[in-house]
Structure 1
Amino acid sequence: MTASKWSTALAVLMVSAIDPGAAAAQASCSAPDACFIDGACHTGRVCCDSQPWYDAWIVREFLAPTADDTVDMMCDVEFEYVEALAAHRGLSFDGPVLKSFVFAGSQDSNLTLDCGDDPTHPIGALGNQVIINVDTVRTPLTPTCGAAWDGVEAQVWDRPEGVTIRNCTLYGRIRIRGMIHAVKEGGTQCDVLESSRRQGHVDRIRAAAPTRTTIENVTFRGEGMIPLYVNPGVTYTQVIGSHFYGSSGDVAIYLDAESSHNVIRDSVIDTATGNGREQIAIDGSSYNHIHDNWIGDLQRGGIFVYRNCGEDGMVRISEPSHNVIVWNIFPYLHSDTDDPAVYLGGRHDDWDTDNYCNEDEGVALWGSSIDDRQFARHNIVAYNQVWNRSPTEMIRAWNDASNTPNYVYANSTCDCDFTTMSCGLICQPPLAPALIVATVL
């Protein structure tokens, strides 16, 4: 217990000894989510500063036999502390943590979940996938769709900022959700649909979405679902030093429409993707930096930069532009694949044939409502290394006027034999000049 917490406890004891009313007030402050601090009963995150209350909360959420299978995050959590508290109390904290976690609204801003980089305590397990959600909270909870949509003034989106998830092994997925978290109506995400058809959508959806989420040293062990989904409008997410293994029925990482300024760096993205999909989808997302990564399992491609159109009637507005893709390694283990390491305008085949591009036609005077082209332009793809394939062959752009200009240069190749395990010694990406360093950092 810190000095401040000792001082608080001593002050309460002194007040109670002098004032019977204070003692009665403290005795009445007995609800599980309540704590008595500074002579008053409180609920919520302030109680995390009370050591007895915090310990009781840890026991309820992690160590009690009746603990719920979802932890609504209120306080910082370190698995190392949970383990120490369990040992002190004679309780069990063994094996995987079969719980989902929810960070919801501004009350959960700046909270940290730290798993301690302990492989004996993964979150989830093989065949028992869990979810970590970083969610905006909407008021009122349920939207009104169609012409009766409440309008901008009546909507309140309370978003979390600065959430950190680190040092975890995760059998499951992380979803960062803003407006898209709203209840579905008629098969669509009502808020995003209605907002996209009104002026100011891009600023509105970004202001409503979580921002500054950090995912650091997290190992994803996927099993069917997309391991990391960055939903519409989410900004300034950082993925640092993480690993993406296992399988996905789609991509490994999805950066959705109107999201921006996200960073993926120093990571291994090597997921067995499904549905003919690439490792990283940049769909109507802009100003992202993807650098210093190993992007493997390229049978279906590496990074595709594009803009979807019309799906569920939502208007896509932001261009997939000003993305910086540098210093990445793309190791081609199989010479028979033709899917590119980087594809600017990478949804052209589906774009020509999908039956939903006309679902937003004529509903607005902007974005994909008036032009279904992708506008993958002003992107930098430089100083990457493509192993065993030609970079001019495997870094390409769909030949459409909307996808120019882009800046593709100084990418290299390295021919090596994977069976000798020497590629890492032979192949080193070239150093980038200071201008590109400044751009990325």
Structure 2
Amino acid sequence: MSGKTNYFLIFLLAILILLPAKAIAYGLKGYVDGTRLNSDGSVDIWGWACDDGDERALSVHIYLGAEAGKGKLYKGIIANRANEAVVNEVCHTSNTSHRYLATLPASDVAKYTGQFVYIHGISQHGPNRLLKNSGRYAIPRPLSANSETADCTTSQKASLLNSVSASGVITNCNLTLNPTDRIIPRLHIRGLEGNGVVYDCRGATLENGISIEASTTLNPYTNTYDYPSPSNVTIKNCTINKQVIVNGMASNPNYFNNVIESSRQLWHVERVQFYAPKNIVFNNVTFGGAQTKLYVHIGTTNLSVRNSRFIGTSEHAVIYLDAETAFNTIENNVFDTTSRLREVIAVDGSAHNVIKNNVFNRIAKGAVHTYRNCGERGLIRHQTPDHNLIEGNTFNNSSPANTWAVWLASRNGNRNYCEDDSGYAFGSSADNRDLSRHNIVQYNYFQNYVSIKVDETPNTVHGNGLIN
């Protein structure tokens, strides 16, 4: 090493030692802590931000719909509100003014409802950064002033009963039928206008099925999409002869790339669950048709199917619980059906579900299989099929040998498209395995032998036996 280089290194070291410690920023830190709908219709966004080691209050920029460059800049504010001691510990400061609070008046909530919140910290040392939890929380939807759903008018009902076309009809009204009625058009319960809809068929037949789905709207203020979905829908006492679909963000196939784009970001599960239908009830329904009879699409939560019957045959799974669905219940149903190619109930990246006290009378390729369908269509699966309860079910015809009625982690990357979602450090992009863990399989009964396979740990399997 030359003498010139030696003197330069000594000089640089001396400068670093003499600089005040707080002039060297360790980096920008901060969180989006949440959003909250207030009683007056306004919405609060709050969190904290700081430059590590810098006492000065930081500016933050609030974007709606997407981060800077894609979303709408709503406003900039100063993070100068009082904070807890733990924030000072993280920020390495003594100043207790690192919190921010922004309130959107009701008029702005109406504009931006459903848009996810992204907040950039504007560092006084650079570079600026997205705060953690950006993209996790949305502007809540205002509560409806009128929670009562209107009954279908006499003319609406007559139009449905007299139509001979299978084309879809949006029917966001309470529909009560007579046992001998037969409706040909496919019925669509769509968007927020479908909240609270009740169909009571009283034994009537819906020939071409039902879609309970989000509408797709382009928000003119953010130039991003919103997917308002119906919730608290009840379908009861119906015979349905074609597929039933419950769908949120993926309702419009023309915009499926938006779902793929969401899956390549953090907080994808929160986004698709926010946009999907919730609290959907099927009670005393007979499901027919040759396709998947009930397709529960991406993000649907708190759906229940009780006291119902599945008949006929299918080329595919009879019930499909798709990626990022959760907290759904399938209970006290009879499956007088089978799938020629697939298991009866597919649990694909779906978690916290209850499959309980059902009777499976025909099983050709399995009854309940859990897996994560890595990479299909380039979509990253974030959630794993975990914390599911499979309890008290009766399997009257056990699957053929090596097919397995209940199979936890049935795929584990065994598909030729598993690398189609590669390149990201999370979900199935990072790990093709099913990671089907913390499930409970208990007190189920099998006709010939206990047909359970577990290809992942930890899971709990106990108390299962043969039919007496």
User: Contact 2:308 / 2:334 at 8 angstroms: preserved in 1?
Assistant: yes
Q: TM-score, normalised by structure 2?
A: 0.65
Q: How does 1:98-177 map to 2 (within 5 A)?
A: 98-117=184-203, 121-124=204-207, 130-140=208-218, 154-177=224-247
Cα contact 2:297–2:325 (8 A) shared by 1:
yes
User: For 1:381 and 1:153, how far apart are their aligned partners in 2?
Assistant: 46
Matching residue of 1:191? 258
**Unaligned ranges ≥5, structure 1:** 1-43, 84-93, 125-129, 142-149, 415-426, 428-441
CA contact (8 A) 1:295 1:302 kept: yes
The separation in 2 between residues aligned to 1:231 and 1:166, in whole angstroms, is 20
CA 199–67 in structure 1, closer or farther in 2 if over 3 Å, else same = same
Q: 1:397 aligns with which of 454, 457, 462?
A: 454
Q: Does 1:219 align with 2:286?
A: yes
Q: Give the CA deviation at 1:178.
A: 0.6
Shift of 1:298: 1.5
* Counterpart code for 1:395: I
Q: CA deviation at 1:195?
A: 0.3
What is the match of residue 70 of structure 1? 168
How far apart are residue 183 of structure 1 and its match? Answer: 2.9
Deviations 1:292-326, CA, capped at 9 Å, x for gaps: 10023112111001111001111001010000010
1:199 counterpart SS class: coil
| Equivalence for 1:359 | 420
- The structure whose Rg is larger is 2
SS of the equivalent of 1:264 reads: strand
Deviation at 1:152, TM superposition (A): 8.8
Q: Distance in 1 between matches of 2:222 and 2:442?
A: 41
CA RMSD of aligned residues (A): 2.5
The number of residue pairs the alignment matches comes to: 323
Within 2, Cα distance between the matches of 1:183 and 1:172?
19
Give % identity. 33
Aligned to 1:271, the other structure's residue is in SS state strand
Provide the rounded CA distance (Å) in 2 between the counterparts of 1:293 and 1:47.
32
Tell me, yes or no, if the aligned pair for 1:171 and 1:221 is still in contact at 8 Å. yes
Amino acid at match of 2:441: V
Separation of aligned partners in 2, 1:163 and 1:108: 8
Is residue 2:181 matched to residue 1:181? Answer: no
What code does the residue aligned with 2:153 have? Y
Match of 1:339 in 2: 403
Identify if the C-alpha distance between structure 1 residues 328 and 46 changes in structure 2 by more than 3 Å, giving closer, same or farther: closer
Residue 466 of structure 2 is aligned to residue 409 of structure 1: no
1:74, distance to aligned residue in structure 2 (A): 2.5
In structure 1, how many angstroms separate the alpha carbons of the residues matched to 2:331 and 2:452? 19
Q: For residues 199 and 396 of structure 2, what CA distance do their matches in structure 1 show? A: 33
- CA distance in 1 between partners of 2:279 and 2:383 (Å): 20
- 1:247 partnered with 2:313: yes
Question: How much does 1:54 deviate?
Answer: 1.8
> SS where residue 257 of structure 1 aligns?
coil
Q: What SS does the corresponding residue of 1:375 show, helix, strand or coil?
A: coil
**Structure 1 residues 47 and 356, CA gap change in structure 2 (3 angstroms):** closer
Match of 2:380, SS?
coil
Q: Structure 1 pair 342/207, CA: closer, same or farther in 2 (3 Å)?
A: same
The residue type paired with residue 157 of structure 2 is: I
- The counterpart of 1:60, out of the listed 159, 176, 188, is 159
- The CA deviation at 1:339 is 1.5
User: Of residues 420, 424, 434 in structure 2, which corresponds to 1:374?
Assistant: 434
- Offset at 1:270? 3.0
3-state SS of paired residue (1:269): strand
- Structure 1 Cα separation of the partners of residues 313 and 166 of structure 2: 28
C-alpha distance in 2, partners of 1:151/1:361? 33
More helix by share: 1
Measure how far apart 1:47 and its partner are: 9.6
Partner of 1:264: 330
Task: Mark the runs of 5 or more structure 2 residues left unpaired by the alignment.
Answer: 1-145
1:298 aligns with: 363
Once residues 229 and 338 of structure 1 are traced to their aligned partners in structure 2, the CA distance between those partners, rounded to angstroms, is 26
The alpha carbon displacement at 1:338 in A equals: 3.2
Which residue identity lines up with residue 212 of structure 2 in the other structure? V
Q: What secondary structure, in the 3-state scheme, does the structure 2 residue paired with 1:232 have?
A: coil
Closer, same or farther: CA 95–164 of 1 in aligned 2, 3 Å:
closer
Letter in 2 for 1:62: L
Cα distance in 1, alignment partners of residues 313 and 259 from structure 2: 29
* Deviation (angstroms), 1:288: 0.1
- CA 1:96–1:58 in 2, change beyond 3 Å: closer, same or farther? closer
Greater strand percent: which structure?
2
| Kept after mapping to 2: 8 A contact 1:282/1:305 | yes
Q: Is the 8 A contact 1:299 1:337 kept in 2?
A: no
